[in-house]
Structure formats: C-alpha cells, structure tokens
C-alpha cells in the first residue's frame, strides 16, 4: 500500500477572510480548530489536483501508470456533471490500461472507494487499484459570505494504491452506512434534475448548504458507533489501534470522538488546522501525512473514520 497527496500552494489564513468581521475571523480557530486552508490556482481543477496526488502515490510505490488496472475517484466537486472526472485523471497520469469511474459519497467517499477497491482485488478482478479523492470547493461551490462553509471547506487531494499479494497488510475490515432521511442536511440544491439552474430563484442554492447543528449531532453519535462496530467485527480492541485517521471536520468533534472511544487524542492524525476541511479528500491527505511522518510502523493498525453528506458514515481498519 502506497499513499500520496497534493495541497495547492496558495495558503488562505483566517485573517485573509476579510468579508467576515474581525470577531468572526477570530472565532474560526476557536470553534473549528482551522487556522488556514489551501486554495487551488485559477488554472487547476479537481482532476488536476487528483492527478498530482496520484503521481506522488505511484512514484512512491515504484509503479508505472500503465500498471494500474482500476482508477476510482471519490469527489463531490467534479470537473463537470459528465463525464466522470476520473477519466481526466486517467488521461493526465497516463493510466492507459485502467478503467476509471467516480464515487460521489461526499466526505465519506474515500472509505467507500477503498472498500470497493479491496473487493475488486479480492474477487480477482484486478491486481492494482488506485483510489484518489480530490476536492475543489473554492472555485464554485462556496458562498463567500456563508461563514459556516467558506471558513471551513478547502481544496486538496489524496491517493492510495492497493495491490494484491501484500501479505497481511492492507484492509482488515470495513463498515459502511447511509441514512437518506438526512440527505438535505448537507447539499447543493441546484444544478441537477431536481432544481436545474434555470429554475433557481435564490443564488445561494448553487452553493453548499449545511445545517451545522444537525450535522454535528449526527456525527457525535454515528462516528463512535461505526468505529466500535468495525473493531468488534474483526475482534480488535481500541487499545490495539495505533492511529486514528478521521475526516477533518472540526477539532472539538474529533476530541469528543477520541474521548468517547477511550483512545488517546495523540493517536489522532489532525491536519485541519493547516489545510481546513477538504471534504472527501481529507482522510486520505491525513493518511498520507501519517505515512510520511515516520511515526507509523509495519503492522500498525490504523482506523480511518469518515462522515458527511448523504448522510453517510464509514470506518475501515488498515494494517500497515
């Protein structure tokens, strides 16, 4: 298993969000833990970010792009409604033998994609599957005046290469969940068949809308439960977990999750202070940081837990 990530060069600190009053800007770090976020350049789109993360991953693995059998892209901010953004990532990196497709499970997309990649390999359908999660929210999905989203959501991409024949390392188990009754809690109302742009009456319907308190209540209960469900299913104790790689949503939420699970917060990999909430890409970016940090050792058990729109939530256990 190899990893890679890409963060745009442009850093946007809280102080740069001058559309909000000084008191509000000060609250960003206090309420979310975010001090800065990354913003893509004008000539970068979602597939560009994903391709850059993918190239890093493949280079570290010592694998050429034409050796990839399947390319799965998790994104909630595609280049276009169609075709699949994964097809442009395939073209950019030269993965000429792979078939490529998108998964749209918002902030949970990376774990959904990893589960599918693992299943494809175990079924004998492929030897190497490249999972990429790429998000570019700053270009068109964020209302610059919406404090709840503009202050938090950001741009970035992560990648993981799964391969057969890795022995005991890889994905040990996964649990996936959705609850469509909460589909409206995090959404972009316009742009699809339900509300085409030409019928849109409010400009803000083209942007991400989030009912923050309801979402936080959902995360507080479901994230802890899915980790416990996962560890129970594979007979692993919380004390045996070396690291937790969570979706990078909110620092207090992550601290509460650690306390609820009885796992020391020092085991949580946190990047949101520097990168913000990169939606579906956040867990893979954090996983790559763990791999590059030198803290992890072969055989370590890592829990990746994600939650987001859909509503969706998931956890996977990885043996390094």
Does the active-site annotation cover 10? no
List 14, 115, 250, 277, catalytic entry:
277
Does the active-site annotation cover 239? no
Helix (H) / strand (E) containing 175: strand 170-178
183: closest CA among 309, 320, 20, 50?
A: 309
Does the active-site annotation cover 177? no
Question: Which are the contacts of 154, defined by CB distance < 8 A and separation ≥ 6?
Answer: 12, 37, 38, 39, 137, 138, 275, 276, 277, 278
CB atoms within 10 A of CB 270: 19
DSSP code per residue over 279-294: GGGHHHHHHHHHHHHT
List 107, 115, 152, 250, catalytic entry:
107
Longest dimension (CA), the chain: 56
3-state secondary structure of 272: helix
3-state secondary structure of 109: helix
The answer to whether 35 touches 315, Cβ cutoff 8 Å, is no
List residues with catalytic annotation: 107, 247, 277
């Amino acid at each position: 298993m190899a990893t890679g990530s890409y963060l745009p060069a442009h850093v946007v600190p809280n102080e740069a969000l001058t559309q909000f009053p000084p008191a509000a800007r000060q609250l960003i770090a206090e309420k979310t833990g975010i001090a800065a976020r990354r913003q893509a350049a004008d000539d970068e789109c979602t597939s560009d970010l994903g391709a850059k993360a993918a190239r890093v991953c493949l280079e570290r693995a010592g694998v050429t792009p034409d050796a990839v059998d399947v390319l799965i892209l998790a994104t909630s901010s595609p280049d276009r409604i169609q075709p699949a953004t994964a097809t442009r990532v395939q073209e950019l990196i030269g993965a000429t033998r792979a078939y490529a497709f998108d998964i749209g499970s918002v902030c949970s997309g990376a774990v959904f994609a990893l589960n599918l990649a693992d299943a494809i390999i175990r079924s004998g359908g492929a030897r190497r599957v490249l999972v990429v999660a790429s998000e570019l929210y700053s270009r068109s999905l964020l209302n610059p005046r919406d404090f709840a989203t503009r202050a938090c959501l950001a741009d970035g991409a992560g990648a993981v290469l799964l391969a057969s024949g890795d022995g005991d390392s890889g994905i040990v188990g996964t649990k996936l969940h959705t609850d469509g009754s909460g589909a409206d809690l995090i959404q972009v109302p316009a742009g699809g068949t339900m509300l085409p742009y030409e019928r849109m009456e409010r400009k803000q319907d083209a942007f991400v809308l989030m009912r923050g308190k309801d979402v936080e209540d959902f995360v507080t209960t479901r994230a802890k439960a899915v980790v416990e469900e996962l560890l129970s299913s594979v007979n692993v104790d919380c004390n045996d977990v070396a690291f937790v790689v969570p979706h990078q949503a909110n620092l207090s939420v992550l601290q509460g999750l650690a306390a609820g699970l009885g796992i020391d917060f020092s085991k949580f990999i946190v990047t949101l202070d520097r990168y913000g909430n990169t939606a579906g890409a956040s867990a893979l970016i954090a996983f790559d940081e763990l791999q590059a940090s030198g803290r992890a050792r072969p055989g370590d058990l890592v829990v990746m837990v994600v939650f987001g729109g859909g509503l969706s939530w998931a956890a996977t256990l990885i043996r390094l």
